[in-house]
Amino acid sequence: MTACSACGAAFECGGQSGASHCWCAGLPRILPVDPEQSCLCPACLKPLVQRRIAEFVRGVTPATAATCGAREYATDDPPVEGIDYEIDAQGLLVFSAWFLLKRGFCCEAGCRHCPYGFRA
């Protein structure tokens, strides 16, 4: 068991227990990673990732969207709810600006959170 460096809660860290990878590998890498901070529990890490991504996205303009550097964080992993997409009140899957930035280009479909400035 590991203690969360933020809240002190005990949790199982796969990376420290010898597993091939930890549960946190299912979340996107955050930028920049703080090498001084030890593991965070699931309840602390996901909100931190969400805040860091929101800070990054706030600094992106339509003019910088294609070259902002988000594409280097793209993976073949499945999208993560609350980070890459949300389900709206009508039950529709809505991609986040972060997901669209990681894709690296505008599809011109009128996405709700289009960071490239396209409006249908």
The residues spanned by each domain of the chain are 1-58, 63-120
pLDDT tens sequence across 58-111? 999 999 999 999 999 898 888 989 999 999 999 999 999 999 999 999 999 999
Say what the pTM is: 0.80
Query: Which residue from 49, 37, 44, 42 is spatially nearest to 73, judged by alpha carbons?
Result: 49
Over residues 5-48, the pLDDT tens digits come to 889 999 887 766 555 667 777 776 665 556 677 788 888 888 88
